Amino acid sequence: MSKFDITTIKGVIPAMVTTFDENEEVDLKRGRDLVRFLIDAGVHGLYITGSTGEGFLMTGEERKSFCEAVIDEVKGRIPVIVHVGDIGTKKSIDLAKHAEQAGADAISSVPPFYYRFNGDDIYNYYKDISESVSIPMIVYNISLAGLMSNALVKRIASVDNVKGLKFTGREHDDMCALKQELGSDFMIYSGCDEMATQGLLAGADGLIGSTYNLMPDTAIEMYNLTQKGDYVGAFEIQKIATKLIHFITQWDFFPIMKNLITSYSVDAGYSRRPFAAPSKELMSKINSFCLNLKEEHKGQTHIAFIDRM
């Protein structure tokens, strides 16, 4: 049973990277170190083994072992959402049941992909997984993928145990409409880091994103400002963060982000192929960009690792 009611799972929730060693094996020690770093930074929850966590590059057993290690390290201090998505319902149900047994507070899943599944297939995928456990399901919709319409999302939301939506897209008018229609107890999380403030303004209850591994302090500051009604102040910080996000997402993003986390915060390990490790030349270019950003904003970028450079 979840330690946290779904309506209390709000705020900044990093989509946590999975830590691999030099041989591409899951490194649980590095993972535990990263959990402690993020909790110490003040994040409000963790979302694990999703897209950012390279979950689809992991075996089921690897996903389970990482889930167990993270939940054990968290020790109930903040909620843990476990992504259990896969192409097949059977594997996702197995991962969902394991997540519940391990102590997860919620599960989440992208819709099944690769094959051309129809709306009924996708609805039943979520229904079957949700009914296999007692902890809540958070639907993960990447709107740019075009796999689920808003009408289908609303249909899935009618399933008893579906309690939230991770909305990764720039169509904040759609997010706003969904929040109004589905109600205050149906939680919506903005998944577009470069528009986090806009997502909160559109009614999101929290933020689930990749870059919060790298700059949790920045996201927390923006979130806190919006809770005080200072959207102008939050947006000024957002503009700086977005410059960095746009720059580093020109290349293989996850290995670059892990390199920066390792260089300036805590050892985040490596990524799995086919993601390629960034070259020294590329990282030098990225570090130069960060230093220029620091100079441009006179050391007040509101991005802790850059301001420390």
**Rounded to two decimals, what is the model's pTM?**
0.97
Whether the CB-CB separation of 25 and 54 falls below 8 Å is answered with: no
- Per-residue model confidence (pLDDT) at position 290: 97
Tokens of 68: 């167990």
Residue 152 has pLDDT above 90, yes or no: yes
Can you name the residues that pair with 81 across neighbouring β-strands? 47, 106
pLDDT of residue 76: 98
To the query of whether residue 166 is one of the catalytic residues in this protein, the response is yes
What is the pLDDT averaged over residues 73-94?
Answer: 98
Percent residues over pLDDT 70 in the chain: 99
Find out whether 198 and 242 touch, Cβ atoms under 8 Å.
no
Catalytic residue among 64, 166, 179, 243: 166
Judged by DSSP in three states, 42 sits in coil
Does residue 53 surpass a pLDDT of 80?
Answer: yes
pLDDT > 70? residue 145: no
| CATH T-level fold of 9-307 | TIM Barrel (3.20.20)
Output the pLDDT for position 142: 86
State how far the Cα of 74 lies from the Cα of 179, in Å rounded to an integer. 30
Report the C-alpha gap between 4 and 251 in whole angstroms: 37
Place of tokens 């997402």: 249
Q: Which of 43-47, 91-95, 115-119 has the lowest mean pLDDT?
A: 115-119
Is 177 exposed, middle or buried, given 0-12, 13-18 or 19+ CB atoms closer than 10 A? middle
The domains of the chain are located at 9-307
Q: Is the pLDDT of residue 187 over 70?
A: yes
Q: Summarize the confidence of residues 260-272 as an average pLDDT.
A: 97
Cα–Cα dist 243/218, whole Å: 13
pLDDT tens digits, one per residue of 199-221: 999 999 999 999 999 999 999 99
Residue 75: pLDDT over 90: yes
Residue 96 is predicted with a pLDDT of 99
> How high is the pLDDT of residue 303?
96
pLDDT single digits (tens) 218-242: 999 999 999 999 999 999 999 999 9
Residues 3-37: tens digit of each pLDDT: 899 999 999 999 999 999 999 999 999 999 999 99
Q: Which of 47, 125, 140, 270 is catalytic?
A: 140
pLDDT 10s digits, 269-282: 999 999 999 999 99
Q: Check whether 1 has a pLDDT greater than 70.
A: no
Q: What is the pLDDT of residue 146?
A: 66
Return the closest-CA partner of residue 301 out of 258, 216, 239, 213.
239
Q: Across-strand partners of 13?
A: 208
